[in-house]
Structure 1
Amino acid sequence: MAVLNYVESERTVEDAIYNKTLLAGDGWLHTLEPGQVFRIVDLAGNQAADTLFYSGDDPADHYSAVNTIGRQQNIYLSTGSVLVSESGKELVKIIADTCGRHDTIGGSCSAQSNTVRYSHDTLPMHNCRDTYMLQLAKHGVGFTKRDLAPNVNFFMNVPVTPDGGLKFDDGVSAPGKYVEMQAISRTTVLISNCPQLNNPCNAYNPTPIQLLIWDK
């Protein structure tokens, strides 16, 4: 079942307390306080923002794709979706979305998955899992690769085929499209702005995203 739930936000960029442009291939880690609103903007269109969520009070309690999908009875995320952790804790709720749907089953790229999906010569290419680990190491969180749970791929189009397979298709986003979410509990957000050059999700052209935060 597809989600196409377009809702625009009334918030303005001028009122944001935080505004950052994240280049393709770069990572970002930040903790949202309850009530704060966080927006990711697809500046050029069809970029994939690979995003992980952790409880800000218990980082071992990470986002659960299984629990989130089961709760909403839908494999795609959009306005109204509540993202929950392994323990069932509510982390964030999507409150505005001008893209229409987002993937949470396709996973993030790694050196190993690139070789399986594409070819062995992609092994040294920049990838999201390495970006995640670099951010965690820089912030002294002390996590290992075991802590990299299934993620959300904002703006990424991953249709499920009738036989249950996954396709990585052209994106459904466009320049200026955004997704906005409100923190229900203290939540740490970890983003890899995907550097992927091998599938059409970003037209083979990784581009920057914009990150905005408003106080409640």
Structure 2
Amino acid sequence: MNERILWQETLPGSSTWSHILKRGTALRLTAIDDAPNVGVILLNADNFSERMSLPDALKAQHLARLTAGVALYSDMGRILCSITEDTVGWHDPLGGCSDDAMVAAKYGLSSYQQSRNAWHQSGLDGFLIELAKYGLSARDLMMNINFFSKVEVSDEGAMRFVPNNAQAGDAVELRAEMNTLVILNSCQHPMDPSRDYTQKRVELTLKQVPAPGPDDLTRNSRAENARGFIMTERYFL
């Protein structure tokens, strides 16, 4: 089966979005502006109690950054999505998301009633807004990915945000290995030192893609991933 584009749209800066990404489809994120940030959380769309576990994914694959060939595991040891393509090379799984207090302290108060679409929304609010659409709440939150952003960790354990990690035209693609609820927001990274509240656009492309074969990059990148694919495929028998 060849790849086929199913849907495209532009996600404005500091906005939220969600979709149930079906097994056999992929979501491609393409930066329209330089230095965007896209916070993402994932849940099993058929059983919301199963959700992405970044600690398990990082531990199983012995890494602290995300790029092509990395599997995004659930807390049940299955693979929700694989990163199949990436032009950036480093996406942040450690920095978390901003909350209202952080945004107000850094950028000042700005409500929707005052500023309309230019209001100062936090990443946390964005996640909660989308979770509520599926009957979920703060208890369903988890560690989030920050696509297009880079956070380095020193030998002493200090974390440092690296500005301008991605440029316009850069892209990363997630292939759904399960029916996956994808929730994302395009708010700034919480560690971004800029005092300006900026809104960076990202293009979203939904695609129909072939199933992973025996020579799949993610399946073969680590022995742990081969076992994760077996666990996932058995789930659908």
Instruction: Report the TM range for the smaller structure's normalisation.
Output: 0.7 to 0.9
Alignment match of 2:42 (pick from 20, 43, 53): 53
Task: Check if 1:199 corresponds to 2:188.
Answer: no
> What residue number does 2:179 align with?
186
Q: Report the Cα offset of residue 132 of structure 1.
A: 1.3
Using the alignment, how far apart are the partners of 2:92 and 2:146 within structure 1? 5
TM-aligned CA distance change 1:119 to 1:210, over 3 Å? closer
Change (3 A) 1:51 1:197: closer
| Partner of residue 17 from structure 1, selected from 6, 28, 32 | 6
Which residue pairs with 2:56 in the alignment? 67
Higher helix share: 2
5 Å-filtered alignment, 1:21-36, equals 21-36=10-25
1:170 to 163, 171, 179: 163
Match of 2:204 in 1: 211
Greater mean alpha carbon deviation, residues 177-186 or residues 197-206: 197-206
Q: Which residue of 2 aligns with 1:7?
A: none
Q: Which has the greater radius of gyration?
A: 2
- For 1:18, what is the secondary structure of its paired residue? strand
Gaps of at least 5 residues in structure 2 are: 112-119, 210-237
Question: What's 1:128 paired with?
Answer: 123
Computed over aligned residues only, the root mean square deviation of the Cα atoms, in angstroms, reads 2.5
Q: What residue is the counterpart of 1:3 in the other structure?
A: none
> Partner of 1:68: helix, strand, or coil?
helix
Match of 1:147 in 2: 140
Per-residue deviation, 1:195: 4.4
Q: Relative to structure 1, is the Cα distance of residues 76 and 198 closer, same or farther in structure 2, using a 3 angstrom cutoff?
A: closer
TM-score, scaled relative to structure 1: 0.84
One-letter amino acid matched to 2:121: H
Report the Cα distance in structure 1 between the residues aligned to 2:106 and 2:194, rounded to whole angstroms: 18
SS in 2 for 1:159: strand
User: Partner of 1:62: helix, strand, or coil?
Assistant: coil
- Contact preservation (8 Å) 1:38, 1:213: yes
Gaps of 5+ in 1: 1-9
Deviation at 1:131, TM superposition (A): 1.1
The C-alpha deviation readout for 1:10-33, integer Å capped at 9, x for no partner, is 96xxx4111010101110010111
